[in-house]
Amino acid sequence: MSKERILESAKTLFMRFGERSISMDDIAKESIVSKKTIYQHFENKESLLLTIVKNEIVEWDTFKAELAAKKESAVIKIYRYNEFVKTRILNFNPLFIIQVSKYYRAIETEINTAADSNQTFIEGLYRELKRSNLLNDWVDISSAVKVQRVLNKLFIENCALDKKNAVNAHLHLIQSNFFGMLTTSACEELQHFISQN
């Protein structure tokens, strides 16, 4: 029980204030446990951070597996994926990603591996769109996925300066890019789905 409370409290603090400004004392106070209790579960701050990041990756992987299993068209799956990303973005401090990537090599590796996995997943959905004739012929899937990854990286860097405007701009760019690649029938299918939900 206390391990989960420590993880939840630490995640909340890190997401709110970034990694650098939070000490193990802050986490102990927020978790209502002693610092000794924290060290019984986590060797150091890095192992606590790594556990938080790995848990977050598991949540993403679970979502992707559930999404892949749905009997829906790829256009709806991509829309659902983008909505999931939106909810994650709204509850996340980009300083956390920037700081842990800068100061903790093992965590940076986990984050990059997860980003590669997400890119592969999205690329698979775009290929499914192409096979279903829901993607315009001129779309190069590999380039489209790379553009989305670049937009995500720019978002993380700019969000630290002005989160609200960065979130809105990022979501607008992703959605505009996505809608622009779809055939007319795919746009109609998506608009119908959105209006029903």
Interatomic CA distance for residues 128 and 181, integer angstroms: 13
Name the CA dihedral angle for 134, 76, 92, 99, rounded to a multiple of 10 degrees: -40
Interatomic CA distance for residues 59 and 47, integer angstroms: 18
Name the CA dihedral angle for 145, 148, 149, 150, rounded to a multiple of 10 degrees: 120
* pTM for this model (two decimals): 0.85
Interatomic CA distance for residues 140 and 153, integer angstroms: 20
| pLDDT tens track, the chain, 197 positions | 689 999 999 999 998 888 888 999 999 999 999 999 999 999 999 999 999 999 999 999 999 999 999 999 999 999 999 888 878 877 777 778 888 888 899 999 999 999 899 999 999 999 999 999 999 999 999 888 888 878 777 776 666 556 667 777 777 777 788 888 999 999 999 999 999 98
Interatomic CA distance for residues 28 and 82, integer angstroms: 35
Cα–Cα nearest to 78, from 64, 90, 88? 64
pLDDT for position 163: 64
pLDDT for position 113: 94
Query: Which residues sit opposite 182 in a β-bridge?
Result: 135
Residue corresponding to tokens 């556990």: 51
Domains of the chain from N-terminus onward:
1-42 (1.10.10.60), 50-196 (1.10.357.10)
Interatomic CA distance for residues 19 and 13, integer angstroms: 8
Q: How far is CA 99 from CA 10, 15, 46, 188, in A?
A: 15, 11, 12, 42
pLDDT for position 158: 66
Asked if 114 and 60 count as a contact pair (C-beta separation under 8 A), the reply is: yes
b/e sequence 130-145, b meaning 16+ C-beta within 10 Å: beeebbeeeeebeebb
3-state DSSP call for residue 135?
Answer: strand
